[in-house]
Amino acid sequence: MDALEKALVEQGMTADEAFDHLKKLAEAKKAAEEGADIKSSNLRKMVDEIVDEQIGARAKAATKIDAPPDEPVAVPPQLVADMWLAVKIAGKHPSQMSAKRLAKAYFDQRGLEYDERVIQKALDTSDTSTLVPAVLQRQLYMDIEKQKAMLSNFRVIDMPNNPWEMPYQASSLTIYGVDESTADSSSAVAASDLGFSKITFNAKKLGARVFWSTELDEDALIAVLPVIREDLVRITGDGWERTFLFGDETTANTNINYVGTAPTTTVAAKDYWLQADGVVHSCIVTHTGQALDIAGAMTETKFHLTRQELGKYGTNPNDLMAVVPRELWYDMLTLTNVVTPDKYGPNATILTGELSKLFGIPIVVSDGIPLTAADGKVNDTPGDNVKKSFVMINRPYGVIIGRRGDMRIAMEQVIDTDQTKAVVFSRYDIQYPFWGALAYGYDIT
């Protein structure tokens, strides 16, 4: 058994399946490189079998490692992961696989309309890059937006260009009392001016890059690619969550994330929370009247007083959401009026171990709010940051998040160092149409 067959067997194939697979892979590669008609039924069949067998191999391997016996892993038919694995197994450079031609055949066979925009170049514009379909990018977006409080609970709009101006009605019309009209010269009702304004979105970028060796791929007991993908999802989501909640574009030593020392502004390696002014910045820097110094432990009364900072935007609990760090959430589990069944009914925290609402307002836990100093900002001396805080937001009026373009995730073999590298980039912005719809409670012991 040669090295390629062995690699396939280690992914869950039998020896016969591995031999047949490599034979079909070689035939499809040869046909594609010789310029065969990609719409021919034979080539379509070969491509389909290659993709399906790769999916099956991945499913078997993943099931053995990660899934409980009764819950088999369902691996979606995403072309790029299959093609990339095929490249790695075969020990070929992506350009030798005629990736674009095989991609066209795949889409044709699946009955999908092929669009050049569906295939994204990875890392650069050369023909030797690994290609990434947009379906994988959208899946990555969905993973991020389902997991993070700010992306899963607030309006996210796709920006048609960058920067992008979105108009909104900034003030209401005026209603007047009107007397009965008894003559042609009767006065018309007084006119109201439409109070329109605009929000300007300017999406900024977060990105990450990672290298790993061929030896890691070959010697690891588990598939490396899913682990890396999971970590890319996690760090990207965590980065935007912190930026949306605690971001500050200030580059001086007054930045609320690092008071006392200027943040890192190194090109392509700067502190990620410099990419937008977050909710907390809006409450304690831009509009200081939207912050409440709680100066003590969290109580139901303090929670309610923070809600009062919202004024007219705080009356309907169904419109509100409180975003709290996990340190504060643990404290809130023992609030007097939620802990026992006689006060909070069957949802009492002593029975459920969770607190989903207070005063009818949903409570969402987020790691995007760090511990702070007594002024509600993060000090450059870690020992000073022992206070907790939280934000309360009117969901329809407080926040709009702009997203520019698809997630770009890319992988490429580095042949001169025998490594693989992966990068991920995403672009978002956050804006606040009505600043009174935000509130920040801080200095909580």
Residue 2 clears pLDDT 60, i.e. is over it? no
For residue 371, what pLDDT band results from cuts at 50, 70 and 90?
A: very high
Distances (CA, A) of 52 to 75, 94, 102, 113, 189: 10, 19, 14, 19, 70
Q: Token pair for residue 13?
A: 């194939």
Question: Does the pLDDT value for residue 411 go beyond 90?
Answer: no
Residue 71 predicted with pLDDT over 60: no
* CATH number of the CATH domain containing 310: 3.90.1690
pLDDT above 80: residue 393: yes
For the beta carbon of residue 179, count every other beta carbon within 10 angstroms: 8
What's the pLDDT score for residue 225? 72
- Residues 233 and 142: their CA atoms lie apart, in Å, by 10
C-alpha distance from residue 230 to each of 143, 285, 307, 408 (Å)? 9, 35, 36, 15
Asked if the model's pLDDT at residue 57 lies above 70, the reply is no
pLDDT at res. 133: 47
Residue 413 scores a pLDDT above 70: yes
Residues 386 and 243 in one domain: yes
Q: Is residue 34 in a domain?
A: yes
In a domain, 366, yes or no: yes
Q: Which residue has the higher pLDDT, 34 or 190?
A: 190
Residue 129 resides in a domain: no
- Closest Cα to residue 326, out of 362, 361, 370, 365? 365
Share of the chain above pLDDT 70, in %: 67
Look at the block and give the residue holding tokens 């042949």. Answer: 415
Residue 114 has pLDDT above 70, yes or no: no
Domain final residue, candidates 79, 97, 114:
114
**Band of residue 151 on the pLDDT scale cut at 50, 70, 90:** confident
Residue 60 has pLDDT above 60, yes or no: no
Q: Which residues span the domain enclosing 374?
A: 204-444
Is residue 135 in a domain?
no
Residue 155, in any domain of the structure: no
Q: How many structural domains comprise the chain?
A: 2
Which of 114, 142, 175 is the C-terminal boundary of a domain? 114
Query: Are 79 and 226 contained in the same domain?
Result: no
For residue 163, say if its preceding peptide bond is cis, omega within 30 degrees of 0. Answer: yes
Q: What pLDDT sits at residue 315?
A: 94
Note whether residue 174 is domain-resident. Answer: no
Residue 5 has pLDDT above 70, yes or no: no
Q: How far apart are CA 11 and CA 14, in angstroms?
A: 9
Q: What is the pTM of this model?
A: 0.67
From the CB of residue 66, how many other CB atoms can be counted at a distance below 10 Å?
Answer: 12
CA–CA gap between residue 438 and residue 327 (Å, rounded): 21
Distance CA 58, CA 52 (A): 10
Q: How many CA atoms lie within 13 A of 25 on its CB side?
A: 27
Within this chain, do residues 110 and 222 fall inside the same structural domain, yes or no? no
Do 314 and 397 meet the contact criterion of CB atoms below 8 Å apart?
A: no
**How far apart are alpha carbons 391 and 188 in whole angstroms?**
46
- 290 and 435 in a single domain? The answer is yes
- On average, the pLDDT of the chain sits at 77
- What's the pLDDT at 111? 55
Question: Quick one: which H or E segment has residue 30?
Answer: helix 15-33
Structure tokens at 84: 């990339």
Same domain for 350 and 210: yes
End-to-end Cα, the chain, rounded Å:
65
- With a cut of 80, say whether residue 3 has pLDDT above it: no
Which sign does the torsion angle of CA 86, 91, 94, 97 carry?
negative
Please compute the mean of the pLDDT values over residues 366-383 and round it to a whole number: 95
Assess if residue 125 is contained within a domain: no
Percent of all residues in the chain with a pLDDT value above 90, rounded to a whole number: 38
- Asked whether residue 210 carries a pLDDT value surpassing 80, the answer given is yes
Rounded to an integer, the average pLDDT of 311-321 is 94
Decide which of 114, 135, 167 is a domain's last residue: 114
Least confident residue range of 13-17, 83-87, 140-144, 152-156:
83-87
Asked, for residue 178, whether it belongs to a domain, the answer is no
